[in-house]
Amino acid sequence: MSALPTTLVTLEDIHAAQARIRPTCLRTPVLDVPHPVGGGAPLWLKVESLQRTGSFKLRGAVNAVAVLGHEAKTSGVVTYSAGNHGLALASAARTAGASATVVMPETASAVKIRATRALGAAVLLRPPDEFVAYAKHLATVEGLALVPPFDDPWVIAGQGTVGSELLDQVDDVDVVVVPVGGGGLIAGVAVALKSSRPAVRVIGVEPALAGDLAEGYATGERAVWSRALTGRTIADGLRAAAVGELPWAHITALVDDVVTVSEESIVSAMGWLAANARIVVEPSGAVATAAVLEHRHRLGSGTTVAVVTGGNIDLQSFASLVGSWPTLG
């Protein structure tokens, strides 16, 4: 990968990504669901948990590997990941005939580790405050091509295809709510949305326990939290210590608001999604829906799309989290 551009990803980059990922990634469905807090405004889900590998991350990984082209095959690829990007990169690399090495924090979800290994990748586990540096070290000393999980224009462009697709799928979108970990998804989605429909409100959501972006967005200066802090949230995919610098540039330019949700709201949203949309969602995948539950007035009115980002969770954890959710109706 070349040096990061100082400019933002463009709609053309996203359209080029869409063409590259078409053979490999699903155009995921949108589902309309009864609004959980009433009020009559349509609520749609963009269901990336039904994407191959169980998350939107496949889009960015496939785009980045496609751009690497022959280099990926000759050198192999490496990344650091809380899980879903690693799983996605393992899949993208296997499709491209490249070897993949994924460094995950020791706290990564067991189901993500297993699934990544099952795709033929080498998975290395390191402490949460060391795994990022270790992957970068490996890239240098082993000559592997680094495919970062979010701080990368090709990854951002790939994730942006979520935004261009949902504009095709849902009429008259007013508000789009997007989970934020490292910020790659919201960066790409914001470009896709604001380029085509500037009046759309794009809203980022973090767990309050990993609310580094909410803090930075309020002060105007990118905040970096410790992994000890962000590691407290159940949303294992959103424990990045900070958004990346390139995502940050996109977010400050394009995102309308950043809100945080409680751990209770996240679990409640998982149950709500299981009962009302009949999907299995991991905690990180439920935070946009949690924001709809917790912050309906702040998000703004009109047709709302919550992006459901991933569904990789072991069934025992899922069952124990949602099994006590009260059935409404």
Kindly list the residues in this chain that would bind its own copies in the complex (CB under 8 A).
26, 28-29, 31-32, 49-50, 52, 54, 110-111, 114-115, 117-118, 271, 274-275, 277-281, 311-312, 314-316, 318-320, 322-325, 327, 329
Token duo for residue 204: 């980022």
CB of 12 or CB of 314, closer to its own copies = 314
55 DSSP 8-state letter: B
Question: Whole-number minimum distance, CB 103 to its own copies, in Å?
Answer: 19
Helix (H, G, I), strand (E, B) or coil at 257: strand
CB of 9 or CB of 25, closer to its own copies = 25
CB of 230 or CB of 312, closer to its own copies = 312
Q: What is the DSSP string of 91-122?
A: HHHHHHT--EEEEEETTS-HHHHHHHHHTT-E
Length of the chain measured in residues: 329
CB of 116 or CB of 260, closer to its own copies = 116
CB of 195 or CB of 276, closer to its own copies = 276
Question: In Å, how far are 93, 122, 140, 192, 256 from 137, measured between CA atoms?
Answer: 20, 16, 5, 33, 36
Question: Whole-number minimum distance, CB 309 to its own copies, in Å?
Answer: 12
User: What is the rounded distance in angstroms from the CA atom of residue 204 to the CA atom of residue 51?
Assistant: 21
Question: Whole-number minimum distance, CB 283 to its own copies, in Å?
Answer: 14
Question: Whole-number minimum distance, CB 328 to its own copies, in Å?
Answer: 8
186: nearest Cα among 160, 206, 212: 160
Helix (H, G, I), strand (E, B) or coil at 72: helix
Question: Whole-number minimum distance, CB 50 to its own copies, in Å?
Answer: 6
